[in-house]
């Protein structure tokens, strides 16, 4: 078994930073409630595109909420334009590993913009305005 483990580690090693990315994904310090809903990718092909380069538009969904973001690189930073359905003045937080977070509130049409967001392992949290106890978190994505 030791030889099999060595062979697996040589041929298919754990990706660098996997442990750190996983810890970041589950460490949501400032959410008081335990009822966090985890959004899913709307299209698995998007996930592959994100890993390969500039992500462009990414869509997540959970229950009745759809989160669509468009990412535009601006030098060493990025601009995130987003839309929430259903629309409303929902709180949006963008967390970036090792860079903290940025927050904003979507307008009544569900649109939000964050500029000068650092690049790195990123996760969005949406706090639904109509139900303060409902928080939705997206999977992490490297932007």
Strand partners, 113: 81
Flag the least confident range among 24-38, 85-99, 103-117, 129-143: 24-38
Residue position matching structure tokens 């970041």: 24
- Could you report the per-residue pLDDT of 12-28, keeping only the tens digit for each? 887 777 767 666 666 66
What span, in angstroms and rounded, lies between the C-alpha atoms of 49 and 46? 5
pLDDT for the residue numbered 50: 42
* Residue 98 · residue 123 · CB < 8 Å: no
* Residue 122 · residue 142 · CB < 8 Å: yes
3-state secondary structure 93-136: EEEECCCEEEEEECCCCCEEEEEEEECCEEEEEEECCCCCCCEE
- Could you report the per-residue pLDDT of 44-61, keeping only the tens digit for each? 444 443 444 455 788 888
Which pLDDT band, with edges at 50, 70 and 90, does 108 fall under?
very high
H helix or E strand, kind and range, residue 45: helix 44-52
Stated pTM of the model = 0.70
pLDDT for the residue numbered 94: 93
């Amino acid at each position: 078994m030791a030889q099999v483990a060595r062979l697996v580690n040589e041929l298919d090693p754990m990706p660098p930073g996997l442990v750190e990315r996983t810890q970041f994904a589950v460490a949501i310090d400032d959410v008081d409630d335990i009822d966090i809903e985890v959004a899913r990718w709307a299209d698995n092909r998007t996930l592959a595109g994100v890993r390969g380069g500039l992500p462009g538009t990414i869509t997540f969904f959970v229950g009745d909420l759809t989160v669509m973001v468009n990412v535009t690189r601006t030098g060493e930073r990025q601009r995130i334009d987003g839309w929430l359905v259903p629309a409303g003045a929902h709180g949006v937080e963008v967390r970036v590993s090792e860079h903290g977070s940025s927050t904003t509130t979507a307008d009544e049409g569900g649109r939000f913009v964050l500029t000068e967001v650092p690049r790195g392992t990123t996760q969005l949290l949406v706090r639904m305005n109509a139900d303060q106890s409902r928080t939705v978190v997206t999977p992490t994505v490297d932007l």
